[in-house]
Amino acid sequence: MDNQVYYEEFNMENPLPPLTKPPVDKIQLVKYAGASGDFNPLHYMDEVGQMAGTGGVIAHGMLIMGFVGQAVTRWIPNRNLKRLAVRFVDITKPGDKITVTGKIVDKQIKEGLGIITGEVIAADQNGGVKIKGMFEASLPLKEHGGKIKEVF
Amino acid sequence: MSDLSKMIGTELTSFSYAVERGKIRETALAIGDENPLYTDPEYARARGYRDVIAPPTFGICIDFWGGQDFMALCRKLQLNPVKVLHGEQEYQYFGEIYPGDTLNACCLLKNYIEKPQMSIFILETTYSNQNGEKVLVSRSTVIEKK
């Protein structure tokens, strides 16, 4: 395994590297409808969005959570991610450019493993928050005397 | 509404789902997540996985494609579908999900809270693979506006 990440590599001072996604577009919503199986027409028929009062189609909340998952697994290897929890705060519309930011808010060693807790936020180009969430990861500790490299 | 309270702790639905390589790839591409762990078995094996793996929000694909029909759920919980919102989503990870796995999912109504402006439903789905290993737990907060 050449991508092992260790507990000591994370600190609570520096934010995690943000992930900025290309603007959401309608083609992506159609792709995500097919991929997820969520065929609610609110996500691909503007007239349904107009009836629902959103002025047109809106993105699947789970697509934006997918962006959050993408960001978190850039920070933490998938096998070390133990929990990802989000609250859907606001709707996302085509054209919105989402950036996912995060920071570590807690670090604890439990039973020989390093447990880190992070906060994560997905927001649009105007700072409008779409998702607020948290993640937990369980990371190995560097062996005593091992070289500690700061990756973030 | 007391009959809904009586449903707390009961199973709403259970289903099984066969995990396909193409669905994992399609989901990663739709999200725009270019992590090769979802598409390149060689890359995944070099990192200690036995094959490509499912991305962290794959649970929603299992639900919709595996038979957790949204309209059926609305009927069961007496929800008006156009007033329903997905308020919160949590995933807890216990193991990897690989192509070829057959997952068994069991969805419980974990809690039901009646408020003046809304009804809140907490659904908890546990997914186990063909070896009986629990791999994923999902907790969804579903809100019905009044």
For tokens 């047109």, name the residue.
Answer: A56
A44, part of any domain? no
Instruction: Record the pTM.
Output: 0.94
Task: Identify the domain containing residue B135 by its residue range.
Answer: 3-20+54-145
A48, part of any domain? no
B66, part of any domain? yes
Residue-level pLDDT at A149: 47
A109, part of any domain? yes
Task: Give the count of Cβ contacts less than 8 A between chain A and B.
Answer: 108
To the nearest whole angstrom, how far is the Cα of B128 from the nearest Cα of chain A? 16
**Average pLDDT for residues A124-144, to the nearest whole number?**
93
Domain count, chain A: 1
B34, part of any domain? no
A68, part of any domain? yes
Residue A137 belongs to domain with CATH number: 3.10.129.10
Task: Identify the domain containing residue A105 by its residue range.
Answer: 7-24+59-143
Please give the share of chain B, as a percent, with pLDDT higher than 90. 82
Say whether A37 and B61 touch across the interface (CB within 8 A). yes
Residue A146 has pLDDT above 60, yes or no: no
- In B114-143, the residues whose Cβ lies within 8 Å of chain A are 139
Alpha helices in B1-146 (DSSP H): 2-5, 21-31, 41-46, 59-66, 70-77
Chain segment A27-57, per-residue pLDDT in tens = 999 999 999 999 989 999 999 999 888 999 9
For A36, the closest of B56, B60, B82 (CB atoms) is B60
Contacts 24+ apart (CB under 8 A), B124-129: B125/B59, B125/B63, B125/B68, B127/B59, B127/B62, B127/B97, B127/B103, B128/B103, B128/B104, B129/B95, B129/B97, B129/B101, B129/B102, B129/B103, B129/B104
A131, part of any domain? yes
Residue A139 has pLDDT above 70, yes or no: yes
Say whether B61 and A83 touch across the interface (CB within 8 A). no
To the nearest whole angstrom, how far is the Cα of A148 from the nearest Cα of chain B? 21
A34, part of any domain? no
For tokens 């309270």, name the residue.
Answer: B5
For B48, the closest of A1, A22, A35 (CB atoms) is A1
Residue-level pLDDT at B2: 55
Residue-level pLDDT at A150: 46
B46, part of any domain? no
- The DSSP secondary-structure symbol of B37 reads G
A43, part of any domain? no
Residue-level pLDDT at B57: 98
To the nearest whole angstrom, how far is the Cα of B121 from the nearest Cα of chain A? 14
For B30, the closest of A32, A73, A77 (CB atoms) is A32
CA distances from B26 to A31, A67, A110, B29, B144 (A): 8, 15, 37, 5, 31
What is this model's ipTM?
0.95
Q: Would you tell me the crossing angle of helices A26-36 and B21-31 to the nearest 10 degrees? A: 150
Residue-level pLDDT at B107: 95
Strand positions, DSSP E, B3-145: 11-18, 84-93, 102-114, 118-128, 134-145
Which residue of chain B has the CA closest to A89? Answer: B87
A37, part of any domain? no
Chain segment B37-87, per-residue pLDDT in tens = 999 999 999 999 999 999 999 999 999 999 877 788 888 888 988 888 999
Domain count, chain B: 1
B86, part of any domain? yes
Residue B109 belongs to domain with CATH number: 3.10.129.10
The alpha carbon of A41 is separated from its chain's Cα centroid by a whole number of angstroms, namely: 25
Give the Cα separation of B126 and B78 in Å (integer): 23
B104, part of any domain? yes
